[in-house]
Amino acid sequence: MTTVGLIANPLAGKDVRRFTSAASLNSDRSKIEILRRCVLGAIDAGAEKVLLANDFRNLGLRAVDGLNLGSKIEEMSFHPEGRRTDTTEAAKIFKKEGVKSIISLGGDGTQRDLVLGWTDAPLLPISTGTNNVFPFMVDPTVAGTAAGLIASDELIIEEVSQRAKVIHVELPNGIKDLALVDVVLVDDRLTGSRAVVKPDSVKQVLAAIANPASIGLASIAGRSKPVYFDDESAVSVICDPKAKQGVFAPIMPGSVSDVGIVDIKEVELGETIELNGPGVLAFDGERDFVMGENESAKATVLRNGPKVINPNFAVQTAAANKVFLRKRNS
């Protein structure tokens, strides 16, 4: 079966950064409309089935309401709880079901949750989050087309995707976690409202993707020493509010901060970086793990992440292959 997986994080783009910055609200309605366009694009491109991850808002089901696609739409049978782990659980089911491509709506945090469930997922991430370094800004119809063409074997995934880097983190308690964009050590002892909203609290940034043109904590690294998706390296920046040197970085949408930096260094793939407590580790922008005085985490960047499908390139490739030219019945 040529199946496209489709998932949306209902909570993406709704946290406190709407107070502290000019971040916009990503409403359920707008996500529903994006999902609908994805479905239509995918089916039109030849996907036989779209497997919907039933988020707890039923965004997916509401998106296909009235389309009358019958058996072409399948709802995943699991019970979402309205938490981060829903995305991870859904990813595991996508893997088990062997979907050929996944469109995932969310920001960097959502994509990370998905990869936690399926590390080398064939992933087409669409940005509906607050920080969107990893996912694409793309018209969902085009994204649907790209995912559908891959599912129906009109495109070969290896030709239109690239493995992403992953920051693998071993926490002091032995648990393994990961990030796709950045792991940041924050001078704090609480996860609080999760988002990192105090620029001065950033102690260390380890970024696998540090694009000067993107938003979020990784921009501190990106505007110091850029590292791109394709680059076979990562970057580590040590920050200190009292440093002699600063970098102007948009750590939140519309909110550019002068962050003091004391050290910038290139990190090789496979190299282990220590992040020493006390502090809170933020993964892809969210404070998540509190480290005590003598605790430390180990981080290693490897290129063994998801196969990230570039929708524009995929559709361009298909056009070059004349996939869209179809015979008409006269």
Contact residues: another protein, CB under 8 A: 10-11, 14-20, 25, 27-29, 56-57, 81-82, 189-194, 197, 290
Contact 56, 80 (CB under 8 A): yes
Residues 28-43: b if buried by 16+ CB within 10 A, e if exposed: beebbebbbbbbbbbb
As a residue count, the chain comes to: 330
Please identify, using beta-carbon distances, which residue of 15 and 154 lies nearer to another protein.
Answer: 15
Minimum gap (Å) between residue 86 Cβ and another protein: 14
If we measure between CA atoms, which residue out of 168, 162, 65, 75 comes closest to residue 123? 162
Minimum gap (Å) between residue 25 Cβ and another protein: 5
Minimum gap (Å) between residue 224 Cβ and another protein: 27
Please identify, using beta-carbon distances, which residue of 41 and 80 lies nearer to another protein.
Answer: 80
Minimum gap (Å) between residue 232 Cβ and another protein: 38
Q: 172 preceded by cis ω (within 30°)?
A: no
Minimum gap (Å) between residue 284 Cβ and another protein: 18
- How far apart CA 162 and CA 307 sit, in angstroms, is 5
Q: What would the two tokens of residue 151 be?
A: 């599912």
CA 169 → CA 56, 264, 273, 297, distances in Å? 29, 20, 9, 7
Stated as kind and residue range, the H or E segment containing 16 is: none
If we measure between CA atoms, which residue out of 320, 314, 329 comes closest to residue 147? 314
- How far apart CA 15 and CA 244 sit, in angstroms, is 33
Minimum gap (Å) between residue 134 Cβ and another protein: 22
Please identify, using beta-carbon distances, which residue of 30 and 119 lies nearer to another protein.
Answer: 30
Minimum gap (Å) between residue 191 Cβ and another protein: 8
Please identify, using beta-carbon distances, which residue of 84 and 223 lies nearer to another protein.
Answer: 84
- How far apart CA 229 and CA 154 sit, in angstroms, is 26
If we measure between CA atoms, which residue out of 202, 262, 209 comes closest to residue 234? 209
Please identify, using beta-carbon distances, which residue of 10 and 41 lies nearer to another protein.
Answer: 10
Stated as kind and residue range, the H or E segment containing 270 is: none
Please identify, using beta-carbon distances, which residue of 90 and 123 lies nearer to another protein.
Answer: 90
Please identify, using beta-carbon distances, which residue of 251 and 273 lies nearer to another protein.
Answer: 251
In the chain, the amino acid numbered 77 is: S
Minimum gap (Å) between residue 290 Cβ and another protein: 7
CA 113 → CA 85, 157, 258, distances in Å? 7, 22, 30
Please identify, using beta-carbon distances, which residue of 190 and 213 lies nearer to another protein.
Answer: 190
